Amino acid sequence: MRDIYEVLDRWGAWAACDSSGVDWQPIAAGFKGLLPHGKKSRPQCCDDEGIMIDGCVARLRKYKPDEYELVIAHFVIGISLRAIAKRRKCSDGTIRKDLQTALGFIIGVISTMN
């Protein structure tokens, strides 16, 4: 299996470029794509892989909402882990542990799909 961090980084770029229909970038109809959202120059995954990871992240949202918000903030929006720790008023280590929990959950969901 490839590095899950790299997979989620590519998925985050894919989701930020409006390829995902799950729940990123809530904008009124007719105005979609007018506002920049996330980093556009990152390499993206293919649509099939993006849809699969979307399903895994949707399950993460259901069972671990705090880790879900962390994954969206870091991989889709592009906020650094240090900035997230500052906003949550906790240590970097705590955020990194929460991210590891989320990554482990996503790996588990992917392995059950295969």
Q: Is residue 34 part of a domain?
A: no
- Residue 9 reports pLDDT greater than 60: yes
Rounded Cα–Cα distance for residues 52 and 110 (Å):
8
CATH of the domain at 91: 1.10.10
Q: Is residue 25 part of a domain?
A: no
Q: Which tens digits make up the pLDDT trace of 12-39?
A: 999 888 655 554 444 444 444 544 444 4
Confidence bin at 57 (pLDDT 50/70/90)? very high
Residue 54 domain boundaries? 4-18+42-113
Q: Is residue 13 part of a domain?
A: yes
Q: Is residue 63 part of a domain?
A: yes
Domain count, the chain: 1
List the structure tokens of 49.
């892989």
